[in-house]
A and B are shown apart, each in its own frame.
Chain A
Amino acid sequence: MTRYVAQRCAAGLGVLLVVSFLIFWLGTLIPGDLSTVLVGSEGATQQQYRELRHRLGLDQPLVVQYAHWLDGALRGNFGKSPITGLYATAEIARRAPITLELALLALAESIVLGVLLGVFTAVRAGGLADVMVRTILFVMFAIPPFVAGVLLVLAGALFLKPLYQIGYVPLAQSVGLNLRSMLLPSVSIAVPLAAMTAQMTRTSLLETLGQPYIVTAMAKGAPQRNVIYRHALKNALAPIITLQGYVFGSLVGGLIVTEQVFNLDGLASGLLAAIGRRDYSFVVTGTLVIAATYILANLLVDLLYPIVDPTQRA
């Protein structure tokens, strides 16, 4: 087990290394670099450009620039933005909590709502309620997070005033206001994810409910609620958990657009702005943080798998 985790972590670090180089390389393909952004396109002589490029190290070969960055990164220095004057790590430390909270809330909402709706439809499989809820889920699945976000802003302004708080309030300042500012953004991300989780729960639970031991449990007179939640759902969990690894990719996409919709100053909106102003120290570091979280999330899913499904234990 320890060896497996070590192997996976090593592979993950390797991928991060390659990803960091790729982003560096992508950066050099963009027409115009930091120097043109800093100086502006007018009024600077070629001489000034050259000096600035030299000072920023932009005139060195790609591999040298990368090696220089990597050397710093390994010591915890991920570079400083020449535009904002902020260290990339400081910027990330400021923005990450917002994004992390949003992501965790959205994930929690999608799992709770998805599993409940999945159980609801599986138990009533074939009935009218099943068909109706699944139709709703089918529509939910087709609502992109930014559409859900904009529609929730509309709903929030018109009908849900007490639930809607414009502008982020830090958790440390006020828990209530913080949750109010995060509720609609997280729900807009959770809408399609909950639909996915619900469908997976329904499929997996239906398969489990057909097993002989469920019939036995029912026959010995165990209450239906117990049979569903203790016996069946526990054994139906594995594919639902696997799905959450995939869900994480959608989650990141949802974060990127939702932070824009609700003007949240998180990691994703910082990344979007940094791409716009060619601020590579932040683009590289921010992307690495997200990629690392993504790899870690998938590792966690793979580690959870043998816990819920003993047949998968090596």
Chain B
Amino acid sequence: MTATAAATFTGGRRGRLGRLLGHAEGRFAVALLVLIVLLSLVAPHVLPYGPTQINPRDALQAPDLAHWFGTDELGRDQLSRVAAAAPIALYSAAASVGVALVAGTTIGLVAGYAGGPADLALSGVVEIMFSMPALLLALLVVGVLGPGLNNALLAVAIVYVPRFARIARGATLSTRQREFIEAARATGCSPARVVVEHVLPNILPSMIVQTALSLSTAEIAQASLSFLGLGVQPPHADWGNMLAASRSFVTVAPWLVIFPSLALVLIIIAFNLLGDALRDVLDPRLRTGRGEQAGMRPGTA
């Protein structure tokens, strides 16, 4: 604990990336994510089998030298499939949180800065969305949009908009009271310019922290939707739908369950560590135990 706290303080003069890398957990998280990205980039060129390549003669093979992670009921190589799902996991988590970040920040900025009826209307919508458990809301949205990777990540994005909007609104409300905003207005800046040039840079650290903290739960939500058959569709591999498919073989072929589970848990750990580290580096005031931080992101899938 003291070591990480010291890293935060001594990192004052370095850039943000430098401070993140000076943070023990942050360094580990970045290394893990870079490793996952590299492996997923290299895997398709190195692995001898394609992720959707069917080979019935090799069905349900236990892990061996030919198939390190074993094969599934259609003889597909599990290592290839687990590796092929990695970019999907990274993409879906990043894209859904990214969309929510942009939409939520915009809503929060407008509501917080404009105030009045606009604030009332936007905050009302946000609070109503908050009154629904996250995965339930995502489920209803996918019900409307139809199953598929992009629809599932859009659903997760929609579910995540309220939490970004709420934080952006709060940060905007406290920023707009400050003197430099008044000064900007006095010099004749338009409201749009005040918001973009003066308010946004000040609320950005909070938004980045929330982004990092949301990556893991967004990935869990995304994988849950895939598991329920509403996300990535077979034959394309996703850790969620791989687990759903291998459930029936759980006692015959435990390796079909173990490797996708490990991959999913590993990437969530990496996202969690990254979130904690970024929070320490960018917003030390929020620094508390993990439980409190976990409490700040309701609706884990």
Is A39's CB within 8 Å of the partner chain B?
A: no
Contact (Cβ within 8 A) B289 A272? no
> How many Å from the CB of A26 to the closest CB on chain B?
5
- Interface size (A, Cβ < 8 Å)? 64
- Of B67-75, B91-99, B221-229, the one touching chain A: B221-229
Q: List 7 A-B contacts (CB under 8 A).
A: A151-B261, A196-B294, A197-B291, A243-B294, A246-B299, A248-B133, A257-B224
Contact B224–A249 (Cβ < 8 Å): no
Contact yes or no, A253 B133, CB < 8 A? yes
For window 130-153 of B, CB contacts with A under 8 Å fall at 131-136, 139-141, 143-144, 146
Binding site for B on A (CB under 8 A): 15, 18-19, 22-23, 26-27, 29-31, 118, 126, 137-139, 141-147, 150-151, 153-154, 157-158, 192, 195-203, 206, 239, 242-243, 245-246, 248-253, 256-257, 260-261, 271-272, 275-276, 283, 287, 290-291, 294-295
Q: Determine if B261 and A287 form an interchain contact, defined as CB atoms under 8 angstroms apart.
A: no
Please pick, from B127, B136, B268, B290, the residue contacting A290 in the complex, using a CB distance under 8 A.
B136
Q: Is B209 on the interface with A (CB-CB < 8 A)?
A: no
* Cβ of B177 under 8 Å from chain A: no
A146 to B227, CA, bound (A): 8
B247 CB–A CB distance under 8 Å: yes
Q: Which residue in chain A gives the minimum CB-CB distance to B124?
A: A18
Least CB distance from B82 to A in Å reads 14
Residue of B nearest to A125 (CB): B1
- Is A243's CB under 8 angstroms from B250's CB? no
Query: In the assembled complex, which residues on chain B have CB atoms less than 8 Å from the CB atom of A143?
Result: 265, 268
CB-defined contacts of A158 to chain B, threshold 8 Å: 251, 254
Complex CA–CA separation, A239 to B246 (angstroms): 40
**Whole-angstrom CA separation of A19 from B1 in the bound complex:** 44
Number of A-B contacts (CB under 8 A): 169
Beta-carbon contact of B143 and A30 below 8 Å:
yes
Of all A-B residue pairs in the complex, the 10 with the closest CB atoms, nearest first, are: A199-B291, A203-B289, A200-B291, A253-B135, A252-B133, A249-B299, A246-B298, A250-B300, A142-B268, A275-B143
With beta carbons under 8 angstroms apart, the residue of B228, B257, B291, B295 that contacts A257 is B228
B residues in contact (CB < 8 Å) with A: 1, 127-128, 131-136, 139-141, 143-144, 146, 216, 220-221, 223-224, 227-228, 240, 243, 246-247, 250-251, 254, 257-258, 261, 264-265, 268-269, 272, 288-292, 294-295, 298-301
Closest chain A residue to B220, Cβ basis: A144
Which of the residues B140, B247, B251, B272 comes within 8 Å of A141, measured between beta carbons?
A: B272
Which of A19, A31, A256, A294 is B146 in contact with, Cβ under 8 Å? A31
B240 to chain A, nearest CB (A): 7
A30 touches B250 (CB 8 A): no
Chain B residues near A271 (CB, 8 Å)?
136, 139
A164 to B300, CA, bound (A): 26
C-alpha gap A193/B21 in the complex (Å): 30
A142-B216, A199-B292, A256-B135 are known contacts. Are A150 and B261 too (CB-CB below 8 A)? yes
Identify which of B136, B247, B254 gathers the most chain A CB atoms within 10 Å of its CB: B136
A150 touches B257 (CB 8 A): yes
Choice from A30, A142, A206, A256 contacting B144 with Cβ under 8 Å: A30
Residues of B within 8 A of A290 (CB): 133, 136
With a cutoff of 8 Å between Cβ atoms, the chain B residues found around residue A249 in the complex are 133-134, 298-300
Contact residues in A for B269 (Cβ distance below 8 Å):
138-139, 142
CA separation between A309 and B300, bound complex, in Å? 27
Cα(A19)–Cα(B272), bound, Å:
32
A294 touches B250 (CB 8 A): no
Report if A29-B295 is in contact (Cβ < 8 Å); known contacts: A19-B128, A142-B269, A147-B264: no
Known: A154-B250, A200-B292. A253 touches B264 (CB 8 A): no
Contact pick for B247, options A15, A139, A153, A295, CB 8 Å: A153
Nearest CB of A to B62, in Å: 14
| A residues near B220, Cβ cutoff 8 Å | 144
If A199-B294, A206-B289 are given as contacts, then 16 extra A-B residue pairs at C-beta distance below 8 Å, sorted by A number, are: A138-B272, A146-B227, A147-B264, A154-B251, A154-B254, A196-B295, A199-B290, A200-B292, A242-B295, A250-B300, A251-B133, A253-B136, A253-B299, A256-B139, A261-B247, A287-B132
Chain A residues whose C-beta falls within 8 Å of the C-beta of B143 in the assembled complex:
26, 30, 275-276, 283
**Contact A19 B144, beta carbon cutoff 8 Å:** no
Contact in complex: A201, B291 (CB < 8 Å): yes
Q: Residue on B with the closest CB to A137?
A: B290
A154 contacts B257, C-beta separation under 8 Å: yes
Q: Does B261 contact A141, Cβ atoms closer than 8 Å?
A: no
By CB atoms of chain B within 10 A, which of A147, A197, A243, A250 has the most? A147
Given A26-B140, A246-B298, the answer on whether A260 and B228 have CB atoms closer than 8 Å is yes
A253–B300 contact, CB under 8 A?
yes
The answer to whether B289 and A256 touch across the interface, beta carbons within 8 angstroms, is no
Q: In whole Å, how far is A135's beta carbon from the nearest beta carbon of chain B?
A: 10
A214 → chain B closest CB, angstroms: 18
Q: Indicate whether A260 sits within 8 Å of B288 (C-beta atoms), given known contacts A246-B298, A275-B140.
A: no
